[in-house]
Amino acid sequence: MQRDRERQGMAKNTNMRWRLPLVCLLWELAMIVLFGVFVRSGAEADAHWEEEKRDMNLTSDMENDFYFRYPSFQDVHVMIFVGFGFLMTFLKRYGFGAVGFNFLLAAFGIQWALLMQGWFHSFKDGKILIGVENLINADFCVGSVCIAFGAILGKTSPIQLLVMTLFQVTLFSVNEYILLNLLHVKDAGGSMTIHTFGAYFGLTVTRILYRPNLEQSKDKQGSVYHSDLFAMIGTLYLWMYWPSFNSAISDHGDAQHRSAINTYCSLAACVLTTMAFSSMLQKKGKLDMVHIQNATLAGGVAVGTSAEMMLTPYGSLIVGSISGIVSTLGYVYFTPFLESRLHIQDTCGIHNLHAMPGLIGGIVGAITAAAATEDVYGKEGFIKAFDFTGVYQTRTPSIQGGFQAAGIVVSLLMAFAGGAIVGKPEGTPASPRNCFEDGIYWEVPEDEESDVYHMHNPDKPASP
Amino acid sequence: MQRDRERQGMAKNTNMRWRLPLVCLLWELAMIVLFGVFVRSGAEADAHWEEEKRDMNLTSDMENDFYFRYPSFQDVHVMIFVGFGFLMTFLKRYGFGAVGFNFLLAAFGIQWALLMQGWFHSFKDGKILIGVENLINADFCVGSVCIAFGAILGKTSPIQLLVMTLFQVTLFSVNEYILLNLLHVKDAGGSMTIHTFGAYFGLTVTRILYRPNLEQSKDKQGSVYHSDLFAMIGTLYLWMYWPSFNSAISDHGDAQHRSAINTYCSLAACVLTTMAFSSMLQKKGKLDMVHIQNATLAGGVAVGTSAEMMLTPYGSLIVGSISGIVSTLGYVYFTPFLESRLHIQDTCGIHNLHAMPGLIGGIVGAITAAAATEDVYGKEGFIKAFDFTGVYQTRTPSIQGGFQAAGIVVSLLMAFAGGAIVGKPEGTPASPRNCFEDGIYWEVPEDEESDVYHMHNPDKPASP
Amino acid sequence: MQRDRERQGMAKNTNMRWRLPLVCLLWELAMIVLFGVFVRSGAEADAHWEEEKRDMNLTSDMENDFYFRYPSFQDVHVMIFVGFGFLMTFLKRYGFGAVGFNFLLAAFGIQWALLMQGWFHSFKDGKILIGVENLINADFCVGSVCIAFGAILGKTSPIQLLVMTLFQVTLFSVNEYILLNLLHVKDAGGSMTIHTFGAYFGLTVTRILYRPNLEQSKDKQGSVYHSDLFAMIGTLYLWMYWPSFNSAISDHGDAQHRSAINTYCSLAACVLTTMAFSSMLQKKGKLDMVHIQNATLAGGVAVGTSAEMMLTPYGSLIVGSISGIVSTLGYVYFTPFLESRLHIQDTCGIHNLHAMPGLIGGIVGAITAAAATEDVYGKEGFIKAFDFTGVYQTRTPSIQGGFQAAGIVVSLLMAFAGGAIVGKPEGTPASPRNCFEDGIYWEVPEDEESDVYHMHNPDKPASP
């Protein structure tokens, strides 16, 4: 009886036939209307460019921002859709959901982010003028949603995810505006705005959606051999392209160059300390795929703020090494603690991959900024690196360091508040028996086992 | 008896031991001879570049076309080989054929395309002079063959595919010449030349190769859980890199920039409407992987012609939204209709992903061109965007729109005629029992099932 | 009894709990110290760039080397980590080891390579100044280790791999210095320095680690259906991005452009001859995935030295065609011969993919250099292409050809000597029962079979 009722409840709860289409279509319609009213191509992507070029005294089409940033944009794009999407396919029965829902929320999120960030940063004469840098920033913003998705992976419906995306993108943009414009903080790789904010946002949501009986679906929370290999595709693309992520919106020239080098160094170091601690923390000294898939990336998160500063390659190695250790320890000790004591069920362990390394990144950024000198940066380089112009002309490195630290606190507060606001109305969490299971929201192909059999017996009839 | 004869027939038909090697080696030899006679590196890839640069009054190596187009070229390259190749691995027992035959036909096709397109477009003093733009165009041309391959996937031998490639590349180049040079039509992303032409070509071929008893292999026409994830790799790379596809050969500067932005917007919108209709058209509201893998890409196809024009971001959202809807409806309603009534067996549903969105793309291009004004484009931008110079100096937007529309019709006619010519001599189709089965043309590893077993019992002896 | 002792030995041998962490952490610490003493960002990645730019009379940030090379760098990066990593996942039970150990050794190797190559090539006033070109060169250097890893894949512990990486990177840098600086040899794509050196190094190591009873693990040396598809991801990324590999560190302008075109042509031809011979050498004419996964890449190796020279597109087709044939023949005839007669157990067949094509590449490079004329290259182009300036002002093409040939011999000798030095102290090889098995060094998810079962029966309880 009890069981039957639960089943019926399930069936009702999870049938999205009208709700999902309605949400998608109405929201897309809203996007079209808002884009129609507000969004236009910026000067460098407008057919008036020929005249613009002359006005700006540019001699070559190469000076178009497109050529400075488009290769990095494509790398970031791959990180968001293949990187995050496949990283989450490690669950044995949730591959479609991982890749597919990530695809859905990111595709909606980038449209809404173009608007939200546009109103704050690219608004001119009533229009939002977009170019390649806006596309990168929209991807960045959505990255923070993908991070939050990692905490609740397998436990929500696509509609809940879309609602979360709407709210999170909105708050992300507000938080970003406070940090970049009001506090005048540097955060090109988003240690604070993307990782710290996104992770604590997601952790707050998953805390509110706490499911006491989740261990009922424990058998589905693990990986199988092939799903771990699919996840490694995500890991490697995130790892390889992170230098592009951290340098994508840095200033042209030396800043982009430096960001890429520092991130490359940090990530390389992170792999070694992750492997070391993964083996050390296991009785038999074996390596754990969960750590390799995730903690190796902490080095990219942890230099997100400072990579474009004069962190130096050895500074990057230090930061990368520490973050790999912290992140691996997190998987072994913190995640079980968070679940059992704080009732935070963090499917992908984003606390270890994004939250803690994000905080490290914010702190390292504050220290690096506070330690900056004209000697190290050069007179012009110093002003350019921290944008100490206009009203910020008199800001000193130590004051900048203070504002950077304030940026961490603001991001944390915004994340907690935002996560709480979004988590509440998501309503009663679905039954644990619906978790981590593609069959709930997807048409799943019938019977793999018998296929495997027939695959190697092509001469036998397919069905008796 | 009947059965035995069929078996023997099969064995003869499908043994390629001498025929495939002969075709490959002779054709490659022909390529070497023709390249020896005709193909040389263009000025920007020739060691005389230093002098050339001075003659052209260029101050920097950066002005070499390589730096404007190489990143986009590599993205397009990934779309052709990984994108199309893996998109087609969704079949449970045809992964080797999907990736491997796509690899074979594309590798041959790009060589033949360099020659064919070279004769039409880069021929100078008896030589074809090639540069990075030729490489992109060769990849584009082969893209149309990969599309056609989708219709006949699993039903032909590699030799038949090579023959089709030879013919299709030839006709593609003729059609492209008619459109771009004679009709002076704009089609940088190939809605007409690549998608419409490629799709209707392939559909005509598969119509001629109609197999009445194909339902005998119905059990192999589906996917399994992992094969759907492999296919998503293809989908995502096509989706992410489509902005590069549509902007790769646009004019330097604003046109490349604008193309990328418009395509990005169109694709994002397309994902939402695809998800909406996929859920809506299914009784239980579940999402169907076939739609997510394919219809989400229709937005890229549908702005192929117009992305480099002043389509505007909201225009792109509209086009992307519509094409996602049309494509998903196609998978649910048109594909079964085409098979049962018109005897068109379209394995990958290219009618929904390429044919219909390609037509939409052509029409949107014609309308966008016809609606162009000097006000919107600027005086210089207007002339540059549509190349209204020389003999085309007097062409008006509305006339251009007419020619664009004519381009659609020409592409359709060329596709039907070409497909019919190629389909005919392909001969009697093989038995349905040979379809969708890698074991026919590939060495397939022995027995997965028992491996899976032993994988987790490393201490037990492998065989009794 | 014997068996029990062997088991105990195994258990001791393969438990890395303290040894792996110690090696990783101590070595990373050494990297941090050495980077702290030696490594700094180069002028183009330093905040002083603004002043530097003025000194160098550069008008645009675009002149920063970052924009000339970063897209190619990212492609090379993908080749090293995804390309080599996934290419080796073809083994049915060694996917974690293939991707994971490749990740580990490459992450350590690039740090050590930045130092070693830095001391030889970028050392100035006591500091190594690094930029994007150093990152590419470090990736290249590690590429040679990934190649050697292919020979011993599945037969060594991660600690042995790290030791090999340390030595091989060191010797690679010495060999590279001899070739590039002392012999003044051209080798931008590394036919000699990367492929010939790396492959014969690895083959020497695997010869020394010869295991007589390896056929005991024969059942694990094969592939399964899905593992072959994972391997194709590696193959395709190597194939697609090889034009970036061979052009990444060529001179700006025409040389990068030409390298990419020649490599593109060579690889396309190689696919056709590989398919031809794969089918021809098999009784039933079926294609073999091993050949398609590997021999199709030989064309990239074989033009590594000559791609940036005026090899011409048709010359590239010839070289690519030949190398595909040689490589496929190697898999069918040489590999079994090497194993049975010379006791060289070459897991991935690197002799066919890197050693022989590498030698072809060296020879083709020597011939192409010897055949160079001022007529073909132009007066300035000739000097620039071969760097015939300073003390090399009087070098003629034929002398250059001789030095190129000497480069091959030096690389071979260094590889044999180096491999012997490294192979010796690696000690007694582990038991064959520990080979090709992820369970030895990795936590492997429990029971795939029953998961597959439950995957399609979500309503049944997970365990009885």
CA B271, distance to chain mean position in Å, is: 20
Tokens of B153: 């996937």
Position A376, amino acid: V
CA B55 and chain centroid, separation: 39
* Cβ-defined contact of B224 to A451 (cutoff 8 Å): yes
**Local confidence band at A239 (pLDDT 50, 70, 90 cut-offs):** very high
Task: Tell whether B56 is within 8 A of chain A (Cβ).
Answer: no
| Residue bearing the bigger pLDDT, C27 or B209 | C27
By Cβ distance, the residue of B255, B257, B269 closest to A131 is B257
Check residue A395 and give its pLDDT: 94
Asked if C273's CB is within 8 angstroms of B107's CB, the reply is no
Contact C257 B45 (CB under 8 A): yes
Work out the number of other CB atoms within 10 angstroms of the CB of residue C181. 11
pLDDT tens-place string over residues A295-345: 999 999 999 999 999 999 999 999 999 999 999 999 999 999 999 899 999
Tell me the nearest-neighbour CA distance from C36 into chain B, angstroms. Answer: 34
User: Which subunits count as partners of chain B given 3+ CB pairs below 8 Å?
Assistant: A, C
Alpha-carbon distance of A286 to A289, in angstroms, equals 10
Coil vs helix vs strand at C124 = strand
Residue B317: pLDDT band by 50, 70, 90 thresholds?
A: very high
- Give me the residue label for tokens 């091959």: C408
Q: Strand A127-130 to strand A39-41: parallel, antiparallel, or no bridges (unpaired)?
A: parallel
What's the pLDDT at B461? 38
Asked if the model's pLDDT at residue C23 lies above 90, the reply is yes
Give C299 to chain B, closest Cα distance, Å.
12
The sheet that has C39-41: what strands, in order across it? C39-41, C127-130, C123-124
Report the pLDDT averaged over residues B230-249: 97
Size of interface A-B (CB pairs under 8 A): 250
Do C284 and B15 lie within an 8 Å CB cutoff? yes
For B411-450, what is each residue's pLDDT tens digit?
999 999 999 998 876 555 567 778 999 999 999 996 554 4
Give the residue on C whose Cα is nearest the Cα of A456: C225
pLDDT at position A425 over 90: no
Q: What is the mean pLDDT of chain A?
A: 91
The token duo for A290 is: 């969960």
Q: What tokens were used for A307? A: 């990579």
Question: Which range is least confidently modeled, A35-49, B45-59, B253-267?
Answer: B45-59
Would an 8 Å CB–CB cutoff place C394 in contact with chain A? no
DSSP label at residue B40:
E
Q: To 10 degrees, what angle do helices C95-121 and C19-38 make?
A: 30
B377 interfaces chain A, CB cutoff of 8 Å: yes
CA–CA dist C41, C53 (Å, integer): 15
C268 touches chain B (CB under 8 A): yes
B60 interfacial to chain A (CB closer than 8 Å): yes
A232 touches C: beta carbon within 8 Å: yes
Which candidate in B46, B128, B229, B286 is best for mutational testing of the C interface (most C CBs within 10 A)?
B46
Q: Is the dihedral of CA B402, B406, B407, B412 positive or negative?
A: positive
Number of residues in chain C = 464
Q: Do A282 and C443 touch (CB under 8 A)?
A: yes
**Any chain C CB within 8 A of the CB of B442?**
yes
Q: Is A163 exposed, middle or buried (0-12, 13-18, 19+ CB in 10 A)?
A: middle
- Chain centroid offset of residue C322 CA: 21
Round to whole Å and give the CA distance between C23 and A276.
Answer: 8
Q: Is B31's CB within 8 Å of C439's CB?
A: no
| Interface list for C 269-308 with B (CB within 8 A) | 269, 271-273, 275-277, 279-280, 282-289, 292, 296
pLDDT at B56: 85
* Nearest residue of C to residue B447, measured between CA atoms: C224
- The CA-based angle B462-A455-B143, given to 5 degrees, is 120
Q: Are A298 and A292 in contact (CB under 8 A)?
A: no
pLDDT tens by residue, B91-114: 999 999 999 999 999 999 999 999
Do C175 and C193 contact (CB within 8 A), yes or no?
yes
Arithmetic mean of pLDDT, A280-307: 95
One DSSP character per residue, C126-184 reads: TEEEE-HHHHHHHHHHHHHHHHHHHHHTTSS-HHHHHHHHHHHHHHHHHHHHIIIIIS-
Tell me the nearest-neighbour CA distance from B223 into chain A, angstroms.
Answer: 6
How close is the nearest chain A Cα to the Cα of B88, in Å?
16
Alpha-carbon distance A463 to B215, whole Å?
13
Within its chain, how far is the Cα of C46 from the centroid?
30
Q: Which residues of C touch B108 (CB under 8 A)?
A: 268, 271-272
Bridge partners (DSSP) listed for residue A39: A128
User: Torsion angle of alpha carbons B410, B416, B419, B423, nearest 10°?
Assistant: -160
Contacts of C62 in chain A (CB under 8 A): 60, 62-63, 67-68, 252
Report pLDDT digits (tens) over B153-200: 999 999 999 999 999 999 999 999 999 999 999 999 999 999 999 999
Check the CA dihedral C123-C127-C132-C134 and report its sign: positive
* Cβ contacts from B onto C, under 8 A: 251
Torsion of CA B400, B402, B408, B414, to 10 degrees: -100
Number of other CB atoms surrounding residue B239 within 10 Å: 26
Chains in contact with chain C (at least 3 beta-carbon pairs closer than 8 A): A, B
> Which pLDDT score, from 0 to 100, does residue C217 have?
80
Residue C180 reports pLDDT greater than 70: yes
CB contact under 8 A, A62 and C62: yes
CB C261 to CB B463 under 8 A? no
- Mutate one of B58, B456, B463 to test the C interface: name it (highest C CB count within 10 A): B456
Cβ contacts (< 8 Å) between C231 and chain A: which residues? none
For residues C309 and C250, give the distance between their C-alpha atoms in angstroms, rounded to a whole number.
10
What's the rounded Cα separation, in Å, for the pair C74 and B174? 36
CB contact under 8 A, A71 and C66: no
The proportion of chain C whose per-residue pLDDT surpasses 90, expressed as a percent, equals: 81
Using the CB atoms, write b or e for A64-76: b if 16+ within 10 Å.
Answer: bbbbbbbbbbbbb
Nearest residue in chain B measured CA to CA from A20? B276
Q: How many CA atoms lie within 13 A of B445 on its CB side?
A: 25
Q: From the CA of C65, how many Å to the nearest CA of chain B?
A: 10
Q: CA geometry: angle at A117 spanning A111 and A118, to 5°?
A: 85
Chain C neighbors of A225, CB-CB under 8 A? 95, 444-445, 448
Interchain contact, B317 vs A31, CB within 8 Å: yes
List, in sequence order, the alpha helices (H) in B178-312: 197-208, 225-247, 254-280, 289-294, 298-302
What is the per-residue pLDDT for C218? 80
Identify whether the C-beta of residue B47 lies closer than 8 Å to the C-beta of residue C377.
yes
B442 contact residues in C (CB cutoff 8 A): 286-289
Mean pLDDT over each residue of chain B, to the nearest integer: 91
Q: A 154-213 residues with CB below 8 A of C? A: none
- Chain A's closest residue to C106, CA to CA, is A268
pLDDT for A215: 78
Q: Does B447 touch chain A (CB under 8 A)?
A: yes
Element (H, E) at A27: helix A19-38
CB–CB of B128/B183 below 8 Å?
Answer: no
For an interface test with B, give the residue of C282, C317, C376, C436 to mutate (most B CBs within 10 A).
C317
Report helix angle B254-280 to B313-329, nearest 10.
Answer: 40
Q: Which range, of A429-433, B266-270, C57-61, C357-361, averages the lowest pLDDT?
A: A429-433
Beta bridge partners of A40: A129
Q: What is A71-89 written as a DSSP string?
A: HHHHHHHHIIIIIHHHHGG
Q: How far apart are the first and last CA of chain C?
A: 37
CB contact under 8 Å between A47 and B381, yes or no, is yes
ipTM: 0.93
Subunits with at least 3 CB pairs below 8 A relative to chain A? B, C
Residue pair A188/A130 in contact (Cβ under 8 Å)? The answer is: no
Enumerate residues 6+ apart whose C-beta is below 8 A from C103.
Answer: A236, A239, A271, A292, A296, C81, C85
pLDDT of residue B389: 92
Residue B127, helix vs strand vs coil:
strand
Judged by a CB distance cut-off of 8 A, whether residue C65 touches chain B is no
- Strand B123-124 with B127-130, pairing: antiparallel
Test A256 with C443 for CB contact under 8 angstroms: no
Query: Is residue A260 less than 8 Å (CB to CB) from chain C?
Result: yes
The answer to whether residue B459 scores a pLDDT higher than 70 is: no
> Residue A72's closest chain C neighbor by CA?
C71
Report the interhelical angle of C65-78 vs A225-247 (nearest 10°). 180
Among B64, B62, B58, B28, smallest CA distance to B46 is for B64
Cα–Cα distance measured from residue C233 to residue B163, given in angstroms and rounded to the nearest whole number: 27
